[in-house]
Amino acid sequence: RGEVRVLGRPARAWPAGEPARLRVLIPQQAYVFTGTLRENLLYLCPDGAPPEAVSASAEAVGLTGLADRLGGLDAVVDPAVLSQGERQLIALARAHLSPAPVVLLDEATCHLDPVAEERAERAFAERPGTVITVAHRISSARRADRVLVMDGVHAVCGSHDELLDRSGLYRDLVGHWQTVRV
């Protein structure tokens, strides 16, 4: 048994409502609203953020090319004309900019190409705090410090290499993924 701690305190010790400011979830179907790109990025920053921080998060996750094509950070965004991958990039930059110390990415890069996915994952690895990534791509597992493989009630945790040695299920998943990708 273990204990979940956030910023050094047991998760259950935080006052009601406080956990909401401590975490951010980016799901597979990324939410983008009609408004400026800057407004979309600042959505999870109740106290705002300096322009340099907004630009740095956009750069870190690989959003600057899209931002330029849209007309800059102050251009109005119409979510209906964006691809799923473009919406994911905006949501990823929003989460990266967020002050929340815990980020949960639930298939949040599944519509990105492998290069963009790796860039976004590396940006979050360099960001202060904890990142939990739910993914079905083995490439994400290879980049993770720790991987948790769950099969019903059984769970095994370790690095990619450790799980190749210790988990038959993980070996099967890696083998299946490599077979499908070939």
Residue carrying the six token digits 């407004």? 39
- At residue 136 the predicted structure's pLDDT band, cuts being 50, 70 and 90, is confident
Per-residue pLDDT of 78-127, as tens digits, reads: 999 999 999 999 999 999 999 999 999 999 999 999 999 999 999 999 99
Residue 9 three-state SS? strand
pTM of the predicted structure, to 2 decimals: 0.87
Instruction: Give the pLDDT confidence score for residue 180 in this predicted structure.
Output: 55
> Could you tell me the maximum CA-CA distance found in the chain, to the nearest angstrom?
51
pLDDT reported for residue 102: 93
- Return the SS3 of 56: helix
Q: Residues 112, 88: contact at Cβ < 8 Å?
A: yes
Q: Which domains does the chain have, with CATH numbers?
A: 5-134 (3.40.50.300), 136-182 (no CATH)
